[in-house]
Structure 1
Amino acid sequence: MDTTEALPEAGRIPLAVVVVDREGLVSHWSTGARRLFGPAREDAVGRPAADLLPVSGALHPDDADEPGTWSDPPTARYPASGCARVARRGGRNGERTDVLWWAYPLAGPGRERLLVLAADAARLREGPQDGPHGTGQLAPGFARHTEFPGAGELARRLPEILPSVSVQEATRIVSQVLELGYPVLEFSRHDRIPVTPDWGVPRRERRRAAAPVGHPADAADAARDLEYAAVRERLEFLNEVSGRIGSSLDLARTIQEVSAAVVPRFTDVAGTYLREQVMAGEGFPDGPPDATTLWHRVAVEHVDEPGRWDDVVPVGEAMPFPVHTPFFQCMTSGEPVLVPRISEEAGTAIAAQFEKRDIRPLINGRSMLVVPLKARDVVLGFMILLRHPGRAPFDDMDRVTGAELAARAGLVLDNARMYTYQENVA
């Protein structure tokens, strides 16, 4: 069941996500929090939460405990919610924002003490005021997720609004949130909708070709026309990509050109990884890559809400890839790897390599194509291409297109690499 189709649109809202540790300091500050409250992540993390968040009734410092530590009063064992008008730090002319917030006390072995979700109330009140939710009177609340249609899907999508934590930590937090109550918007006593994150993902309708009618020959002609159109579209796409990349011998600019050329026409997300020697401007990489080879994430292009990927898979990170992953299969075989849909089991296996964050909300249910970036039969890097669930999954023709795309991009990247290497030698 597609929850985004079943749930009222009013429940799809941009959310700020903040985590407070046991010392009362902010330990996670999402991009949404920066947009809503003002301070950048580097200015917020490590600061007292009470100085940044309008969550009165949820923050309970205990003077009797050691300075800087938190108590666990009875009221802190239950979720709290509220509305507040806050001055947006960094805003212009003393700008103030109406904020709705939900706060969940967290228990367990981790350092996380409090999970806070917040939303801009003004944005929720925009639009016509004569609809069933157009009263302008709304409040945050909690409800059992089982009270709504698609309860299982709500529970599965809950990690999307959690911070960048490991799979184990995400599972623990999800179970606590579901037990304490799913976040909802209350328009009246009997009019409530569950809150789901709005990441700005464009909705696409599946293309359905009309069944041809008439003589069987007409059906054959129609099928051939569709096939020719598909081939022509792919050739036009590849020619367009070839014309857009390679305008510079600067390695960073070339990487950006390659990523931007495929989004959104061919894919919704494109992550580019290069071998350490390529990034360092060294000579041609020696030998095939293995499980110890470091790969640098050099670009992430996508059509999701700005910051959604930045919080979880930041550009600049270097990491090896385990043998069991499709990425390892691609970089060692030098051939594209197609995963029509990433199942929950496969998503969990892929996410296990990321120790401090849960990437399953970003990949589960999506179609994935991993293509190698090669030059002279040596893998310089690879691209991870993902399509949203609402878009047709990658197929064998896309695999061929992706392989050709990667071959052209690999040559351009190798030219830029050689230029960088010669510059370093000089």
Structure 2
Amino acid sequence: MDDPIPVEQLIAGAAQDAGGWLGALAVAQVATSADGTIVRWSNAAQELLGYAPPQVVGRHISELLHPGADRSLGRSLWETAATGRGVMGTVTAWHREGHPLELEVWACPVSGRRHGASAVLVFAADAHAARRIRGSSAVWDGLFARSPVGIAVLDTQLRFLQVNPALEEMNGLPESAHLGRRLAQLLPEVNSAEMEEAMREVLATGEPVLDRRRVGRTPADPEHDRVWSCSYVRVEDPGNRPIGVIASLLDITEQQRDHTEAEAGRRRLALLSEASVRIGASLELERTAQALADLAVPYLADAVTVDVLDVLARGDEPGLGLSAGSALRRLGKAPLGGSAVTDILAPLGRTLTFPATAPYTQVLADRQPYLIGRLDEESVAPAARHSPKPARLLTAGVHSFMMTPLVARDVVLGMATYYRTRPIGPFGSDDVTLAAELAARAAISIDNARLYHHEHETAVILQRSMLPQHITPPPGIEVAHRYLPASDVNEIGGDWYDVLALPDGKAALLIGDVMGHGIPAAAVMGRLSATVRALARLDLSPTALLLQLEAALADLAEPMLATFLYVVCDPASGRCTLTRAGHPPPAAVLPDGTVRLLTTPPGAPLGVGGIAFTTSEVTLPAGSILILYTDGLIEARGRDIDERLAELTRLLTEPQGSLDLLCDSLISHLVPASADDDIALLTARIGAVTPV
């Protein structure tokens, strides 16, 4: 008998011929001599059939077959292998524990070390497991070949071992171009470094990576970016050692585009919603223009300017037409600093003029957006004829540019200009639509501000024209007065005051406040003021006069209310008769410095109707000062009215100079900022101070 053949050597010589069994099944390896005697019995053989090596070495291999089965097939397979041909077949063996076991065997001759004698190397595996694996392999082969999902097998060095037709089509390269190469070498225009990092993570941890995005361009579609969803799974040998990675790829470009467009739509709606709040929050031209610029950066553009007609910024009417000499004033700009683009552009407040042929003028004249999707030397040439700035903007990285006019109620008000520098593609039709929507909202707010300021100025002129221009008090009374209109951000009201000479050397000191704002309030104030002057000449009693004023309000088409304070003073005696109709109480400063609030019955405002007015009398020492005011002097946001009255009283206790100084002191201390409401203030010194 030949020298025993080491099983390890036999396996090493025949492993390549064993094909897919090795590594996929528990395969028993058995070596026999030329006469069929078992000479080596592997551990896998012991695990498969239960016999330890001493129990089978030296026995004929046919003795391991099922005792009740036909052994001729097993002998025939072995004899065929012994004659020099490899064979495969199925036999029934007998397990050591006493039950049959169907085996699939593959036997092949192996040359011995001496005399050229042949041994037989037998591989055996559970037949049921082998059939299951062959079925799985067939399924895998079919899936690999026909799946629309791109599939690749890579080794531990992340080199391609196999790719399916779907991946060949995705990458635009045949399988032969993939084999032995890494993704970074094969497709440099995708995020290959990120993908390889994910595969290394899978090899290291064994945890699959799902839905990692590969983005970029391949030879299959070199002009467009595409997106793939990639998943990676580790492949292991029977010892759970990693031997490679299986990658699956699904092209999701269209789904991603749909998702991106839907997300962009949601963001656009959110931006427009925010624009409705922020752009419409002010009636100031500068704040509205700046709000538009701030909103558009960075979502829509990287730099934005907003220019409004200079005549509009000056408070004049814009007119119906535009000419080449029409000037614009820059009222909005974003970002305000730290940008190479905005550093080139004119600063806020600058007045700009453009020739008739310049694109800026054409935008205003045509009332249509102007778009240069891809900015280059040729596209900036028309504007470059008038200014070097377009070329400088191109050098600063501006690659896309658009302008939208600001038009509201068929009036051209200005324009907004958008610049893009980031590598996110040029402005497109959707961007033009969004910019036009933002411009439309801004234009409405700017026009509202224009109309408001026009009405505000009209109301101020009307208000001032109806206030007494020259007050000549009767002897024994010295007066000083102030009127402060509400600030530009607040509407003008209907405050007024007056001093009227009455029979017998008396005087009427009066102050009123029509509730409401704007031109209507100012007009009603003028009506009441004229009515009081007419009625006072008739020497009516205070209560009768107030009833006539109520009747005048009742004649109005729209109901109006007004507070009113009417004080009849006799400077000779210091006697004062006070009648209030819902107005704040007057204050009195006595010659000794004592301050009193004359808290007479408050009454109801004029226009309420059905309320009887009452009068109160008070006698003031000669030299006393009466202070009449409207609620704008003492009302303040977040402050209690009693606190403000106490503050007024404290200020009046300080040493007083002239009545003019007193008026200025009260306003500067009680209203240090722009007034939220109109303020009317009337002070009067009653009688002369009697020498001590």
TM-score by length of 2: 0.29
Quick one: higher RCO (CA 8 Å, sep 6+), 1 or 2? 1
Structure of larger gyration radius: 2
TM-score, length of structure 1 as denominator length: 0.46
